[in-house]
Amino acid sequence: MIDLAQLRREPDVLKAALGRRGISSREVDEIVALDVEHRRLLQESERLRAEVKELSRRVGAARREKDLVTAEELASTSRGLGDDERQASEATELVGSRLRDLLLLLPNLPDPRVPDGADENDNVEVRRWWVGMDEGAPFPTFADHQRVAHWDIGRDLGILDMESGAKLAGSMFPLYRGAGSRLIRALAFFALDQHADAYEEIRPPSVALTDTMMSTGHLPKSADDMYAIERDDLWLIPTAEVPLTSLHRGEILNESALPVRLTAFTPCFRREAGAAGKDTRGLLRVHEFDKVELFAYCTPAQADEAQADILRRAEGILQALGLTYRVLDLCAGDLGTASAYTIDLEVFSPGVDRWLEVSSVSWFRDFQARRANVRYRTSDGSTAFVHTVNGSALAWARIWAALVETYRQEDGSVRLPAVLAPYFGGDPVLRATPS
């Protein structure tokens, strides 16, 4: 949620910033007008309320002095005022809730660093990385044996069974088996071990209340992208960002405790409602995938470094796995609702010949903290909203795809990078099992 005080103070700055994301200035004007009206009504109802309270005090005083006639007169006056007050506060609440609704739908202000642009085609590629790049090796060319799609590799080796997944839960729910399943586990354990030095490991619930979903900005705007369990008012989490952002909801943290860094390995559920039929083969786009998330609550001054640390760690995993990837600076039009500045990581998957998004590292300024009401006490004793940053490190389904394609050998087996060996209890080689 953006700051209403800032909206009053400098509406033109907000219009310009939101305009970059395609929000018309009319929408902002409507909110400003509602705010003015809301405060006018608030003053009126509070004035009436104060009067009722004052009269009630005098009723009490009169009755103590056994002046029952005066007491009844005052009570009668107050009764009338009470009706007015009720009406006034109902009107205030009506305008107030309309104002809140609009405010909740308004996206965050893009940071000045964010490049202009309308959609993903305008994202700016910052750099690429590949094995040997630092020693001057050219961008890799991939051999024919690497140019096989992961769904074919998965079928041939018996490690990915999309048909069974579909049988159990419908299409786009993958089922990994054998070494394929172990690979997901290995990746998650490897990453968690990498982050254990600075991030507290959390295993949150995989479902969240509506309030919890509100805090990150996923609701009310993106309800159609989420799985809902209506009878229990629960939602399947689309990312661990949701529970982690709400972990300290409604709390005031000590400045000395910041940054609070958290990591979590959870399943992520996405309906992908608008994506029917588009890039949906194999693991390109799935309804459920596992992900290790990095997250931090921090002060505004710590935010840049907190975001940089997450990006560094996400890249570190990609480099340790020897995967080719690129770094994108998301343009204003492609920014997530809550984000002020986002860097995406895309891994190159040679078998499908595509860049696949595997991480999104975002700084939310105080947008989420305002919704979740997470503050910190500064050294001078005042309170301020924390900043939140998060990023995946990483989303494993697409990493799984890029790994088996990149490391497919001429004989059809997959020889995974040595860093995973400890998690495989030996040579991380995936071979077809004779059936």
Partner RNA sequence: GGAGGGAUGACAGAGCGGCCGAAUGUACCGGUCUUGAAAACCGGCGUGGGCUUGCCCACCGUGGGUUCAAAUCCCACUCCCUCCGCCA
Name the pairing type of β-strands 200-202 and 260-269: parallel
* Minimal distance, residue 203 CB to RNA, in Å: 13
* Minimal distance, residue 63 CB to RNA, in Å: 5
The reply on whether position 301 binds RNA by CB under 7 A is: no
Nearest residue (CB) to RNA, 82 versus 336: 82
Residue 357 is a catalytic residue: yes
Nearest residue (CB) to RNA, 169 versus 252: 252
Residue 185 is a catalytic residue: no
Residue pair 55/71 in contact (Cβ under 8 Å)? The answer is: no
Q: Which of 285, 313, 365, 375 binds RNA (CB under 7 A)?
A: 375
Residues 48-87 that bind RNA (CB under 7 A): 49-50, 52-57, 59-60, 63, 74-75, 78-79, 82
Helices 68-105 and 25-64: crossing angle, nearest 10°?
Answer: 160
Nearest residue (CB) to RNA, 59 versus 188: 59
Quote the CA–CA distance of 318 and 313 in Å, as a whole number.
9
Q: Given 360, 371, 392, 408, which residue is catalytic?
A: 360
Q: What is the dihedral of CA 60, 61, 66, 67, to 10 degrees?
A: -100
Closest CA to 214 of 204, 202, 226, 206: 226
Tokens 């947008």 found at? 367
Helix (H, G, I), strand (E, B) or coil at 244: helix
Nearest residue (CB) to RNA, 40 versus 281: 40
Answer whether the bond into residue 112 is a cis peptide, omega within 30°: no
Count the site residues for RNA by CB under 7 A: 27
Q: Given 20, 182, 261, 270, which residue is catalytic?
A: 270
Residue 127 is a catalytic residue: no
Quote the CA–CA distance of 47 and 53 in Å, as a whole number.
10
* Minimal distance, residue 381 CB to RNA, in Å: 7
The reply on whether position 203 binds RNA by CB under 7 A is: no
Residues 77-136 that bind RNA (CB under 7 A): 78-79, 82
Q: Given 20, 21, 182, 285, which residue is catalytic?
A: 285
Quote the CA–CA distance of 144 and 126 in Å, as a whole number.
29
Residues 18-47 that bind RNA (CB under 7 A): 39, 42-43, 46-47
Nearest residue (CB) to RNA, 4 versus 228: 4
Quote the CA–CA distance of 117 and 297 in Å, as a whole number.
29
Q: Please name the helix (run of DSSP H) or strand (run of DSSP E) that holds residue 151, with its range, or none.
A: helix 150-157
Residues 240-279 that bind RNA (CB under 7 A): 252
The reply on whether position 205 binds RNA by CB under 7 A is: no
Quote the CA–CA distance of 417 and 321 in Å, as a whole number.
6
Beginning with the edge strand found earlier in the chain, give each strand of the sheet holding 234-236 in spatial order: 207-209, 234-236, 228-229
* Minimal distance, residue 42 CB to RNA, in Å: 6
Residue 360 is a catalytic residue: yes
Residue 45 is a catalytic residue: no
Catalytic residues: 270, 285, 357, 360, 398
The binding site for RNA (CB under 7 A) comprises 4-5, 39, 42-43, 46-47, 49-50, 52-57, 59-60, 63, 74-75, 78-79, 82, 252, 375, 381, 383
